A = this chain, B = another copy of it.
């Protein structure tokens, strides 16, 4: 038996195509009795409307696009991983599909937009970052293409809230601040910060959160001496950690899990006494390192880390796009165009590695 279509079902039921179409798209227009009868046959025949035919007429593909970035360092890639999964799930729940594509550069990405828009008729795009003076967002806006960005724009001077496009982001500063508060509550006072060397605003924000919370906790006097920067690698964490420990830090908040892994190693070697188990959270008794992104390695090592709520971010991005696509005609709550989510600190106890014998 061939795949059922509106026409074949109409013949079987003795009604017109349009009635069946209405049952699915505007049930209120159809008399309840007919509706039931039609629905029963749709069910029995396993009818599914063809997206291609529908797209041809409605100019909606129910398809969103996202560029898959070239694998960066990968440890931090895990955040994108979770984001991608959550995005797929949210999109699916909203009746959209997600199409992936690759690009060599931002210019190439724009070229892909153009092709995917025309050929596949994608309804919108998700970007996983934006840069100052971004060619991509500019192109998308000029062409009236719906899109949303995971990551706020950091255009010099301008507050992100004034951005002319939709974005969702995680408040990194709030994350490091919460980490400091947590550590201070445990009795730490010499809490260091280990960040990145590049002057990127994301890293600056994480440092700023640490500083703010230090001052708020009355530990402002340590701020000048306990902030370090290193390359974003494990060995960068080792050397940065060594320096901070030399300055008597008992706890370190890091801008990434890579750095934190290195710093943890370092603490383990230089201050083994601080890892004595059995005395939970006594002041100064247990050294602590907090990473950022809560990657699987962090979890495996028992490293505390600031976890980004990427699932919430993905859900909101899908909501933004679907609302814009639906034309959201006066229908109640329009989702926030600019949303800053608070991360939370996942607290863990480091793996005991000391040899038994």
Q: Which residues of A contact B (CB under 8 A)?
A: 3, 46, 48-53, 55-56, 61, 63, 68, 70-71, 73-78, 80-82, 84-85, 88-89, 92, 97-102, 114-116, 118-121, 233-235, 238, 242, 246, 258, 261, 265-266, 269-270, 295-297, 299-301, 351, 353-357
Contact = CB atoms under 8 A, between A and B. Distances in A.
Contacts of A50: 56, 118-119, 121
B355 A49 contact: no
Contacts of A71: 78, 81-82, 85, 296
A71 B49 CA distance: 31
By secondary structure, the A interface counts as: helix
Nearest to A354: B269
A49 B121 CA distance: 10
A100 B266 CA distance: 41
Given A97-B101, A265-B353, 10 more contacts: A49-B119, A50-B118, A52-B52, A68-B84, A68-B85, A71-B296, A88-B100, A97-B120, A99-B100, A269-B355
B52 A266 contact: no
Nearest to A356: B242
Contact of A89 (B102, B242, B265, B355): B102
